[in-house]
């Protein structure tokens, strides 16, 4: 269902960067937020040369390297950040996600387990952990975690988002649809949920088409088109636009 669905909880700016207030740090942060990642790294290096290493410098550097696709260096900086602030939950979460982006599922699971010992009540950590288990073909364990999270947090869309991913991977597309619809009632302005629902409808359409049910396939693609348009109206993410074009092509083929 595209990588975007694996961590559909991750789409705001990172937790970042409430500790440091010096002008060099603020400049580096602004460059990061503006998308000038290499320039931000240069400012961080100057900052470290002048003031020494710090949690904030390493954490911001890690996010810059993440944006540049240098995941190995990202991991190194996040681990250095944890050496300064070992109880920052968000760094653990980001570290798990970097390992996931690198398809290092065992490393992601190990960090998740370590983090959950420190933060046993974290909804996001448990949700991400369930996603990691899913990628290792442990769907039953992942669903057990999600069911407990749903019971404890009935107004949180994140477990439902991961649940939809689990059902999708299991080929239970109607259940994936139900989970996402429920999540959208909780977070109606979340464009990633709407994108994910469009991808589910697209897959359902594929199943109908395979069985010769072309009218049903068309109806599902119309639903996919509706949801992706709603996602784009909230955020013009390039992935949404790509998905929209693909859905339109499939509609034209029917």
Q: List pLDDT tens digits, range 143-201.
A: 999 999 999 999 999 899 989 999 998 999 999 999 999 999 999 999 999 999 999 99
Task: Tell me how far CA of residue 111 lies from CA of 95, 97, 108, 142, 155, in angstroms.
Answer: 8, 10, 5, 16, 27
CA 148 vs. chain centroid, Å, equals 21
Per-residue pLDDT at 52: 93
Per-residue tokens: 9: 């909880």
Rounded CA separation 127/104 (Å): 17
Per-residue tokens: 33: 């937020």
With vertex at residue 253, the alpha carbon angle to CA 251 and CA 254, rounded to the nearest 5 degrees, is: 70
Q: What is the mean pLDDT of residues 245-250?
A: 95
Q: How many other CB atoms are there within 10 angstroms of residue 6's CB atom?
A: 21
Identify whether the C-beta of residue 112 lies closer than 8 Å to the C-beta of residue 96.
yes
Rounded CA separation 211/226 (Å): 23
From the candidate CATH numbers 1.25.40.10, 3.30.300.30, 1.20.120.1780, 1.10.260.40, the one assigned to the domain spanning 1-90: 1.25.40.10
Residue 251 has pLDDT above 70, yes or no: yes
Rounded CA separation 179/204 (Å): 15
The domain locations on the chain are 1-90
More confident residue, 131 or 107: 107
Per-residue pLDDT at 21: 59
Biggest alpha carbon–alpha carbon distance for the chain: 68
Q: What is the mean pLDDT of residues 232-238?
A: 94
DSSP codes, 197-210: HHHHHHHHHHHHHH
Q: At what angle are helices 105-118 and 123-135 packed, to 10 degrees?
A: 160
Per-residue tokens: 103: 């398809």
Question: Please, what is the average pLDDT of the chain?
Answer: 90
Q: What is the mean pLDDT of residues 198-226?
A: 96
């Amino acid at each position: 269902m595209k990588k975007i669905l694996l961590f559909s909880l991750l789409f705001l700016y990172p937790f970042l960067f409430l500790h440091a207030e010096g002008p060099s740090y603020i400049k580096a942060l602004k460059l990061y937020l503006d998308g000038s990642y290499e320039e931000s790294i240069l400012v961080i290096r100057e900052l470290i040369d002048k003031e020494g290493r710090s949690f904030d410098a390493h954490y911001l550097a890690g996010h810059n390297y993440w944006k540049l696709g240098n995941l190995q260096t990202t991991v190194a900086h996040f681990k250095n950040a944890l050496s300064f602030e070992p109880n920052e939950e968000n760094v653990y979460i980001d570290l798990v996600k970097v390992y996931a982006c690198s398809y290092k599922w065992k490393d992601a699971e190990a960090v998740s387990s370590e983090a959950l010992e420190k933060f046993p009540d974290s909804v996001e950590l448990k949700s991400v952990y369930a996603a990691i288990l899913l990628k290792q073909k442990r769907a039953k364990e992942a669903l057990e975690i999600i069911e407990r999270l749903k019971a404890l947090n009935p107004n949180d869309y994140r477990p439902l988002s991961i649940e939809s991913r689990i059902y999708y991977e299991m080929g239970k597309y109607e259940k994936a649809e139900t989970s996402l619809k429920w999540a959208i009632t909780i977070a109606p302005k979340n464009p990633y949920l709407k994108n994910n629902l469009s991808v589910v409808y697209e897959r359902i359409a594929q199943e109908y088409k395979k069985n010769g049910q072309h009218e049903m396939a068309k109806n599902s693609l119309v639903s996919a088109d509706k949801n992706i348009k709603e996602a784009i109206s909230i955020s013009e993410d390039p992935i949404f636009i790509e998905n929209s074009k693909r859905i339109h092509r499939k509609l034209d083929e029917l």
